[in-house]
Structure 1
Amino acid sequence: MSRKDYFRTASPFWTGLIGFGLVLLTMATFVPDKIPWYLGKVGSLGRYMGTEKPQITWYMFLGTIAIHVAEAIYAYMLCRRFGLTSSATKKWTFQTFLFGVASLSLLRKFKQQTD
């Protein structure tokens, strides 16, 4: 693999944790009554926020989406600056949109290696 095709998948721990958080926030925003009971206190917090504080939950959801979009745009710009291939750029952008800083930190490490 050449340096122009550079791509690394984010850590399973962080992708799992961030993915769980995104799903829980989405459920708390749109269907808080469907959050499973077996999630314990975390699920209870999600249900509470979704039913008792829906406006705050909605703003948290929108803020999270905005942050992930901004991170994905930044990842795209970094990939273009590094001269990565179109395929690698798409992978980094999509992964960063989904998992945010867990992906972006790996791309920034690549930047430090090229400096």
Structure 2
Amino acid sequence: MTKSFESPKLIWWIIIPPCIIYLFLMVHWPYLIPFKSLGLFGDLSYYLIANYRLLLLLILWSTFIAHFYEALIARRICRQLNINQELTYLWMIQTFIIGFPSLTILKRYTRRALW
């Protein structure tokens, strides 16, 4: 394969990692979040932390497990396509961070290889 690594659109890098980091902070270190500076979003975040902290913890861990599983799927697809180990690691790391948008790009390579 000539082109075997591609990054998702920038919008996914802007949305997904900060949301996961914010969720992590909400669950584990809420005192670092300036709720009053965030306006209504801060009020909503504070309400969720005060009333639904266990649910936020479950969402955080399910997100982590889903991204980890997607990274393993990316590894499997890279092995099927005979992509070298360095690029396989790049796909796995990117898929762990971004998730489904990265995996869909890799699945497109699978479809091209089948044709």
- TM-score normalised over the length of structure 1: 0.88
TM-aligned CA distance change 1:11 to 1:43, over 3 Å? farther
Residue aligning to 1:110 = 109
1: distance between equivalents of 2:39 and 2:2?
A: 45
Letter of the structure 1 residue corresponding to residue 11 of structure 2? F
The answer to whether the 8 Å contact 1:4/1:85 transfers is no
Residue aligning to 1:62 = 61
User: Which of 12, 15, 26 is residue 14 of structure 1 equivalent to?
Assistant: 12
1: distance between equivalents of 2:113 and 2:23?
A: 37
The share of aligned pairs that are identical, in percent, is 25
Letter of the structure 2 residue corresponding to residue 86 of structure 1? Q
2: distance between equivalents of 1:50 and 1:18?
A: 20
TM-aligned CA distance change 1:103 to 1:26, over 3 Å? same
Letter of the structure 2 residue corresponding to residue 84 of structure 1? I
Residue aligning to 2:21 = 23
1: distance between equivalents of 2:5 and 2:38?
A: 33
1:83 aligns with 2:96: no
Letter of the structure 2 residue corresponding to residue 68 of structure 1? H
Q: How many residue pairs are counted as aligned between the two chains? A: 113
Structure 1: give runs of 5+ residues left out of the alignment.
Answer: none
Task: Give the deviation of 1:4 after TM superposition.
Answer: 6.3
TM-aligned CA distance change 1:43 to 1:75, over 3 Å? farther
Structure 2: give runs of 5+ residues left out of the alignment.
Answer: none
Task: Give the deviation of 1:36 after TM superposition.
Answer: 3.1
TM-aligned CA distance change 1:24 to 1:80, over 3 Å? same
The answer to whether the 8 Å contact 1:5/1:88 transfers is no
Letter of the structure 2 residue corresponding to residue 72 of structure 1? A
2: distance between equivalents of 1:103 and 1:43?
A: 30
- Compute the RMSD of aligned alpha carbons: 1.6
